[in-house]
């Protein structure tokens, strides 16, 4: 006789339950407890009563104990059995097929599966039926299934172990169909893992049901919130290390996810909790950057499977990336700023360091001091002096230097480039030009960006060109244009790397920064910085594409239980271009692939993985759970419970007889409560002392702070033009008088009311207060120290304008390209990051800033005026020079001695004659100066065509 999951082998003994009322009547009484009487000698007989005592009723709880003991004894003699043998699952006369899901999801409860397999084999053996054991995740190239005797089937089942990849159920069904060819009355038991891995589980169930001709088909599933769990770890949108915990379905469930270091140390844990029906829960780890980069794996506590482990490699680590630009950060038009797109691309994957100052050398020093592993420079043409040495040493120790092209780099750059560049760029409509913008070629397999699709809409209209003769085997080309021109090049330097994008970091030269390809490129480059542990550490993972093989061999792999071990014999190398999207299999199990210093992780679950439950099963399918795998006799447990109750009854009777459990009302004892009063210790405090100012004697030779502040206030109270003091009294006085004379005309002819010009010691004085700096270059000028060059470089890149006046046209040594025939000027600016220069073009803003000019004379006429070269990639791009300093050229070079032509005495009379053109030439010289100042103050206002239609419309009205 059975009642659901409970059956009785001797059900007739249950009739004894009818005797429970009689047992109740017999056991309801208990002898009265003896009464305690004092026995003083004088009162032996006083108070004694000679009455016959009747038994008192026993307490209700004692009667209940006795009845439960009797009932349990009767149930035990009836021999109840929990989960009796379900022979219906093995009905039939043919073979018994055991289909076992032994993929990664089965590992967590593998012991239950092995017990279930043994139970099914035992039942089949009792019915003298042969057995077929078929794993769905095969350990060999081909699935093999054969009918065996029960003893052989046990050996086959004992050899099964979980595999670290998803099962191939259709292949297993095909092998089973071949083994059962012609068999009738087959019973099939499918030990599932509750997950629809490939969306074909319904088809598998239908085929298995069709194989059971005259037999039964049973599916055994997990229960009691024991469904398999999986995890996928990576960097989330918030920048934290996140773990995505997955499951197919189930009720409420909670647990923990651990972050483990490569040495096996637990660095952090985060709780997760599933509500009923939820199948995804994301948790984040609160870790500092140094600890976060030590995480080697993320695993679910108590879940022993390959899917419950997510290995971490350099792609999932965060690194400090320093960003430095050759131009100031644009606040009004951020979309045009050089670093805008880099910041947007790297924000989810790296910790960004953006030095606050404009000094290039100081910014590099600050970035390296903060342990940056990747340094990105946007349009920095020349690195020189101590800054170049520091960067070179840092790269050799494992740092990754990434540089982006720009107008400054068109001059040829420096030695910290992967390949020498040709002077000048390649642009639409110019020399070495294209007729249409060039598209990108497909990424090659030996590139760091291998496997990344190239969007067809990405085009390049301008670039810097690598010298073809210098493209040796040490230079790697990671991206090309369709005509074969290198777009991204790389070279190894020591333990580090130097990478160059031959286009700008913004959209001036290409729309690459607007694409998802740019994001993926920077993400992979930022991962190269994993070899720099600190500012002086030795790199271990700064590998170049030449060092990265096209095929990555297996280094360590996970077994089905999520344990790293040497790769099995079946493991095969994987192509480097496919490792990012690899699906684990027998040939490519999850684990680490590649070199030991910088392996790539392959995980069971990825950032887009989901776990789906099994679909509806065919009609007639029996659904069982692993909890019902075998019958559980309950006789012993019931006898033990009855014996325990009888023992409790004995103890209760003894206590009742002794009066220990007598229910008497007793007055509670009033215990005195002792209160300890602690005296408060007096707080000793010193009497307050008012702070008094301390007079600190000034340091000998130091510049007075008060004088410096007064100078700054004077320089900024009005528009002030500065001139560099050369040490030659005559030249310095000419510069002062010349700028003073120019200031007089500015006040008369324009709205500018300049202050008196101020001399500047270029070595010690701050130059950020002056929008224009006039610098007469003497023939014996000496080279400047590194600190001064860094200050000048920052001034020019932040919108300052320097007029270098060599004053040598009258001596007949000027007129050529600056830097070739002018040794004095070359000594001064040779190490500066000077942009490419060109003669003033006809449409330059300088020709129309206030006056319309064709030439720019000074005391001399005929010398060429040089300015910063404009971006001539297209006419539309001219308006885009509005960023940074509104298109103001940062440098002007002239040999015409402008200050001498502007110099006036107190009465307004010229001090020096103009050579060649008389007073008309002096007037043009003044107009040149006015245009230069107005250009520095108003920028590309005269070139701005945005408001022309509105102005014309108003004129028409």
Please choose, from the candidates 515, 524, 568, 564, the residue with its C-alpha nearest in 3D space to the C-alpha of residue 544: 524
- Where do the H-state alpha helices sit in 348-475? 360-369, 385-396
Q: Read off the pLDDT of each residue in 420-434 and give the average, rounded to a whole number.
A: 65
pLDDT, tens only, 780-833: 888 888 888 888 988 888 888 999 999 887 664 444 444 434 578 888 887 787
- Position 804 scores a pLDDT of 93
The token duo for 918 is 């008389």
Residue 875 and residue 767 share a domain:
yes
The token duo for 251 is 């009720």
Residue 827 and residue 877 share a domain:
yes
Does residue 953 belong to any structural domain of this protein?
A: no
Contact, 560 vs 163, CB < 8 A? yes
Does residue 841 belong to any structural domain of this protein?
A: yes
Residue 840 and residue 725 share a domain:
yes
Q: Give the pLDDT band (50/70/90) at residue 396.
A: very high
Contact, 785 vs 760, CB < 8 A? no
Residue 218 and residue 342 share a domain:
no
pLDDT, tens only, 201-240: 889 998 888 888 777 888 888 776 788 999 999 877 666 7
pLDDT, tens only, 728-759: 999 999 999 999 999 999 999 998 889 999 99
CB-based burial label for 77 (10 Å; 0-12, 13-18, 19+): middle
Does residue 666 belong to any structural domain of this protein?
A: no
Residue 184 and residue 109 share a domain:
yes
Give the residue carrying structure tokens 């006419």.
Answer: 875
Does residue 700 belong to any structural domain of this protein?
A: no
Q: Read off the pLDDT of each residue in 420-424 and give the average, rounded to a whole number.
A: 79
- H/E element, 134: strand 131-135
Q: Read off the pLDDT of each residue in 442-451 and give the average, rounded to a whole number.
A: 87
Domain of residue 146, CATH code: 3.40.50.410
- Position 956 scores a pLDDT of 60
Q: Does the structure show a pLDDT above 80 at 945?
A: no
Q: Read off the pLDDT of each residue in 268-278 and give the average, rounded to a whole number.
A: 90
Residue 930 and residue 782 share a domain:
yes
Q: Report which DSSP code applies to 878.
A: G
Q: Does the structure show a pLDDT above 60 at 421?
A: yes
Q: Strand pairing of 574-575 and 551-552?
A: antiparallel
* 735-747 core/surface letters (b: 16 or more CB in 10 A; e: else): bbbbbbbbbebbe
Q: How many domains is the chain partitioned into structurally?
A: 5
CB atoms within 10 A of CB 825: 21
Residue 601 and residue 491 share a domain:
no
pLDDT, tens only, 845-868: 888 888 999 889 999 888 889 998
Please choose, from the candidates 602, 607, 579, 577, the residue with its C-alpha nearest in 3D space to the C-alpha of residue 592: 602
Instruction: Name the more confident of 689 and 527.
Output: 527
Q: Read off the pLDDT of each residue in 501-512 and give the average, rounded to a whole number.
A: 91
Residue 886 and residue 789 share a domain:
yes
Q: Does the structure show a pLDDT above 60 at 328?
A: no
Q: Read off the pLDDT of each residue in 656-679 and give the average, rounded to a whole number.
A: 43
- Mean pLDDT, the chain, rounded, equals 79
CA distance 774 to 767: 11
Domain of residue 732, CATH code: 3.40.50.12140
Q: C-alpha distances in angstroms, 454 versus 62, 548, 765, 776?
A: 84, 21, 51, 52
| Neighbouring C-alpha atoms within 13 Å toward the C-beta of 426 | 24
Does residue 408 belong to any structural domain of this protein?
A: yes
Contact, 896 vs 863, CB < 8 A? yes
Does residue 689 belong to any structural domain of this protein?
A: no
Residue 903 and residue 788 share a domain:
yes
- Position 503 scores a pLDDT of 92
Q: Give the pLDDT band (50/70/90) at residue 424.
A: low
CA distance 205 to 223: 19
Q: Does the structure show a pLDDT above 50 at 479?
A: yes
Q: C-alpha distances in angstroms, 588 versus 231, 428, 594, 692?
A: 19, 47, 13, 75
- Position 133 scores a pLDDT of 93
Please choose, from the candidates 85, 96, 89, the residue with its C-alpha nearest in 3D space to the C-alpha of residue 129: 96
Whole-prediction pTM:
0.61
* 481-485, 640-644, 668-672, 942-946, range with greatest mean pLDDT: 481-485
- Position 162 scores a pLDDT of 94
Least confident of 11-25, 108-122, 926-940: 11-25
Contact, 906 vs 811, CB < 8 A? no
Whole domain around residue 91: which residue ranges? 87-224+613-630
Residue 405 and residue 306 share a domain:
no
Sequence length of the chain is 957
Q: Does the structure show a pLDDT above 90 at 374?
A: yes
Residue 274 and residue 170 share a domain:
no
Percent of the chain with pLDDT strictly greater than 70: 78
Does residue 473 belong to any structural domain of this protein?
A: yes
- Position 831 scores a pLDDT of 78
Percent of the chain with pLDDT strictly greater than 90: 30
pLDDT, tens only, 453-464: 999 999 999 888
Does residue 77 belong to any structural domain of this protein?
A: yes
Q: Give the pLDDT band (50/70/90) at residue 947.
A: low
Question: Residue 385: left (phi > 0), alpha (psi -120 to 50), or beta?
Answer: left
Residue 403 and residue 339 share a domain:
yes
- Position 213 scores a pLDDT of 75
Instruction: Name the more confident of 313 and 553.
Output: 553
Least confident of 145-154, 342-351, 876-885, 947-956: 876-885
């Amino acid at each position: 006789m059975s009642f659901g999951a409970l059956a009785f082998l001797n059900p007739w003994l249950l009739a004894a339950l009818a005797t429970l009322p009689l047992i109740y009547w017999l056991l309801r009484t208990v002898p009265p407890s003896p009464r305690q009487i004092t026995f003083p000698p004088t009162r032996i007989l006083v108070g004694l009563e000679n009455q016959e005592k009747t038994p008192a009723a026993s307490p209700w709880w004692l009667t209940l104990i006795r009845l439960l003991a009797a009932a349990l004894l009767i149930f035990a003699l009836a021999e109840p059995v929990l989960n009796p043998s379900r022979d219906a699952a093995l009905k039939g006369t043919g073979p018994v097929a055991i289909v076992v899901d032994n993929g990664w999801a089965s590992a967590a409860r593998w012991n239950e599966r092995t017990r279930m397999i043994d139970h099914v084999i035992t039942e089949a053996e009792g019915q003298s039926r042969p057995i077929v054991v078929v794993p769905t995740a095969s350990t060999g190239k081909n699935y093999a299934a054969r009918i065996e005797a029960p003893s052989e089937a046990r050996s086959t089942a004992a050899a099964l172990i979980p595999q670290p990849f998803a099962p191939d159920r259709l292949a297993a069904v095909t092998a089973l169909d071949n083994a059962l060819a012609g068999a009738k009355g087959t019973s099939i038991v499918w030990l599932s893992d509750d997950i629809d891995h490939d969306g074909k589980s319904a088809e598998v169930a239908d085929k298995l049901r069709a194989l059971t001709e005259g037999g039964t088909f049973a599916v055994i599933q997990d229960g009691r919130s024991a469904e398999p769990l999986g995890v996928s770890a990576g960097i989330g949108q918030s920048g934290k290390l996140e773990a995505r915990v997955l499951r197919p379905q189930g009720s409420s469930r909670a647990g923990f996810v651990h972050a483990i270091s490569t040495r096996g140390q637990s660095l952090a844990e985060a709780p997760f909790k599933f509500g009923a029906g939820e199948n995804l829960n994301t948790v984040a780890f609160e870790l500092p950057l140094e600890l976060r980069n030590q995480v080697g794996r993320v695993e679910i506590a108590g879940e022993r499977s390959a899917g419950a482990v997510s290995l971490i490699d350099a792609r999932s680590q965060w690194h400090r990336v320093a960003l430095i630009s050759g131009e100031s950060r644009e606040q009004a038009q951020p979309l045009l700023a050089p670093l805008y797109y880099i910041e947007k691309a790297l924000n989810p994957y790296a910790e960004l360091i953006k030095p606050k100052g404009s000094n290039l050398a100081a910014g590099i020093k600050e970035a390296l001091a903060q342990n940056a592993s990747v340094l990105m420079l946007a349009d920095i043409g020349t690195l020189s002096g101590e800054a170049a040495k520091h960067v070179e040493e840092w790269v050799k120790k494992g740092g990754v230097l990434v540089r982006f092209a720009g107008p400054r780099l068109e001059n040829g750059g420096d030695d910290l480039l992967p390949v020498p560049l040709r002077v000048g760029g390649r642009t639409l409509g110019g020399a070495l030009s294209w007729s249409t913008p060039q598209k990108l070629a497909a990424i090659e397999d030996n590139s760091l960006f291998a496997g990344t699709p190239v969007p067809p809409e990405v085009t390049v209209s301008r670039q810097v060109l690598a010298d073809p003769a210098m493209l040796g085997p040490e230079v790697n080309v990671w991206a090309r244009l369709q005509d074969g021109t290198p777009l991204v090049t790389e070279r190894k330097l020591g333990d580090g790397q130097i990478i160059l994008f031959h286009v700008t970091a913004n959209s001036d030269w290409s729309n690459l920064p607007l694409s998802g390809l740019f994001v993926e490129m920077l993400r992979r480059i930022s991962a190269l910085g994993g070899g720099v542990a600190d500012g002086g550490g030795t790199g271990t993972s700064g590998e170049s594409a030449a060092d990265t093989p096209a095929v990555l061999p297996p280094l360590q792999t996970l077994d089905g239980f999520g344990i790293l071990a040497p790769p099995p014999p079946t493991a095969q190398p994987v192509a480097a271009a496919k490792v990012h999207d690899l699906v684990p299999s027998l040939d490519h199990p999850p684990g680490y692939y590649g070199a030991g210093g910088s392996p790539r992780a392959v995980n069971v679950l990825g950032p887009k993985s989901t776990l789906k439950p099994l679909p509806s099963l065919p009609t007639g399918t029996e659904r069982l759970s692993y909890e019902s795998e075998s019958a559980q006799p309950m006789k012993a447990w019931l006898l033990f419970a009855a014996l325990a109750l009888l023992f409790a009854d004995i103890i209760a009777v003894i206590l009742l007889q002794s009066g220990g459990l007598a229910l008497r009302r007793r007055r509670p004892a009033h215990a005195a409560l002792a209160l300890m009063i602690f005296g408060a210790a007096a707080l000793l405090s010193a009497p307050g002392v008012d702070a008094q100012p301390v007079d600190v004697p000034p340091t000998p030779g130091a510049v007075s702070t008060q004088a410096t502040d007064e100078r700054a206030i004077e320089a900024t109270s009005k528009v002030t033009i500065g001139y560099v003091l050369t040490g030659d009294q005559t030249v310095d006085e000419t510069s002062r008088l010349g700028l003073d004379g120019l200031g007089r005309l500015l006040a008369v002819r324009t709205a500018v009311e300049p202050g008196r010009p101020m001399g500047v010691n270029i070595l010690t004085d701050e130059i950020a207060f002056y929008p224009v700096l006039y610098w007469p270059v003497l023939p014996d000028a000496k080279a400047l120290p590194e600190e001064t060059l860094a200050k000048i470089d920052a001034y020019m890149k932040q919108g300052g304008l320097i007029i270098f006046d060599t004053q040598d046209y009258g001596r007949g040594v000027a007129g050529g390209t600056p830097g070739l025939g002018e040794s004095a000027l070359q000594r001064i600016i040779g190490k500066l990051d000077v942009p490419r220069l060109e003669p003033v073009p006809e449409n330059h803003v300088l020709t129309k800033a206030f006056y319309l000019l064709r030439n720019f004379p000074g005391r001399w006429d005929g010398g060429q005026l040089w300015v910063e070269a404009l971006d001539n990639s297209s006419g539309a791009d001219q308006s885009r020079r509005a960023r940074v300093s509104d298109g103001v050229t940062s440098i002007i070079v002239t040999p015409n001695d402008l200050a001498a032509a502007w110099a006036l005495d107190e009465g307004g009379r010229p001090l020096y004659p103009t050579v060649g053109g008389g007073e008309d030439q002096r007037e043009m010289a003044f107009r040149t100066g006015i245009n230069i100042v107005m250009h520095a103050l108003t920028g590309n206002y005269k070139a701005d065509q945005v408001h022309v239609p509105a102005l014309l419309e108003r004129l028409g009205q």
